[in-house]
Amino acid sequence: MSDADTRAAPEEKPPAGKKFVFPSALTILAIVTLAVWALAFLIPSGAYDRDKDGSPVQGTYHRVDSGQSFVDRLNDLFLSPVNGLYGVQDQQTGQVGPDLSGELYGSAGVFLFVIAIGAFITVVFATGALDRGIGRLAHRLRDRGALLIAGVMLVFALLGTVEGFAEETLGFYGLIVPLMLALGYDRMVATGTIILGAGIGVLCSTVNPFATGVASSAADISLGDGIVLRAIMWVVLTAVTIAYVIRYATKVRANPGRSLSGFLPGDRDRTAADAGEPPDLTGLHKAVLVLVALVFTFMIFSVVPWSSALTGDAGAVPYGFELGWSFPELAALFLVAAVVVGVVARFGEQKLSATIIQGAADFISPALVIVLARGVTVIMNNSQITDTVLHSIEGLVSGTSSAAFAVFVFIVNLPLAFLIPSTSGHATLAMPILAPLADFAGVSRAVVVTAWQAASGWMNLWVPTTAVTIGGVALAKVGYDKYLRFVWPLLAILFALICGFVALGAVWT
């Protein structure tokens, strides 16, 4: 998945004299929690009038008295993780607490969904079907270099857009690097194929639960809202990225002296036969791959608001076949799917149970990140400073066009993505402010989600705080500085394309 803190990069000894290690997302959010709690004493409380849908009404902001004592505020800090999971918002007072009556404010639904999809993905990987399938694809295309690059990147991008496939790519360097060297390319081609292939998919997430899903939940919209724009982005940006890597690969193959990474001893001695042929796909592997495709296809079908997507009318009456599923149903879907895959793979009760438990354990980190981030918004809500912060930003974007607002959302999230490399935590923290701001600007909340995830994905293509990037260049034995030289022109192209897409999406919707 795409959270940078889910799986660790390969362990490396830090260079001498460099002892600073960037803190984890959990630590950053703990610091943010304390900082927001302290700032709540200084930021005045305020509120907007709400319409019948609960959205703030522009121009109605006014100061209010939160009525909280120091003990109340201290209690909010103490209970913030609990409230972030299953805090309930009282409909009369608007306060959130674990023992109140009203609507669920915490992120229990998203928390369970992350755990469920973690179990499913872990069971799938335990079958070996996905690894072997990609290995067979790479070997089959070994004599057609450009097609191999395009094929692998396309698969990674597809997995990235639907399930946040990112850290999982670290296991493919041992296969892809020798293949690329055998075909006359350098290690940078392999690095770009893996990092950029998966990364562009995550950047253009369509239904990625860890990016689009969490952000949509925090923005109070459907996971399928905005999927048409995101799908078009995925097609265009993936094509551009694949073309960029192939162009570099072609130059290096024709003139090895133009390689940015250079060659290590023995790199030029390999042949295509040296890469070795992976074992064939068994009938079981094929069955698992079909099941995985069916599960994700059904997930997309279940969340897309088909009447709105096909007619372009956000208020269109849903068709009879629409399911309108959200996180509770999707969590159940992936738990059932995990069991089905395990049964098909003939794991047996003991192995299947252990694998599901292991998967849940592996994904507890991003799940907790979501809870902590939601706990921060509870503190802001109970001290009634959320609307004050919203009002201060409202002044910055008032009078701007919808296109300019969408670009503003993309740009303002770039530094946030660096500070909070966890996509889930970043989304949960930012969306409660950005989504209502979209209402003021007359822009669809789905466009805000798209602009946010594009910022997060763009940053994660190069920042050294992600395991995918720093771990990838280490495994490929490519210097990080050389990777930056390789990728920066593409980053500039993607930056311009993203701005154009979100601006067009804001006007279009």
Helices (H), 128-213: 129-140, 145-163, 173-182, 187-203
pLDDT of the residue at 318: 81
Amino acid identity of 338? A
Beta bridge partners, 89, equal 96, 103
pLDDT single digits (tens) 32-80: 889 989 999 998 998 888 777 667 777 788 898 888 899 999 999 999 9
Please say if the pLDDT value at position 193 is more than 60: yes
| Two tokens, residue 389 | 């912060």
Confirm whether pTM is higher than 0.75. no
Spatial distance between the Cα atoms of 34 and 22, rounded to a whole number of angstroms: 18
- pLDDT (average), residues 72-91: 92
Spatial distance between the Cα atoms of 163 and 206, rounded to a whole number of angstroms: 9
- pLDDT (average), residues 352-376: 88
Spatial distance between the Cα atoms of 78 and 210, rounded to a whole number of angstroms: 27
Spatial distance between the Cα atoms of 306 and 309, rounded to a whole number of angstroms: 5
Spatial distance between the Cα atoms of 403 and 97, rounded to a whole number of angstroms: 38
DSSP conformation class of 55: P
Consecutive H or E run containing 46: strand 46-47
Please say if the pLDDT value at position 235 is more than 90: yes
Spatial distance between the Cα atoms of 338 and 295, rounded to a whole number of angstroms: 10
Cα torsion angle, 61, 62, 68, 73, sign: positive
Out of 79-83, 95-99, 370-374, which region has the weakest mean confidence (pLDDT)?
Answer: 370-374
| Two tokens, residue 307 | 């009447």
Out of 39-48, 225-234, 432-441, which region has the weakest mean confidence (pLDDT)?
Answer: 432-441
Spatial distance between the Cα atoms of 141 and 190, rounded to a whole number of angstroms: 14
Spatial distance between the Cα atoms of 213 and 221, rounded to a whole number of angstroms: 10
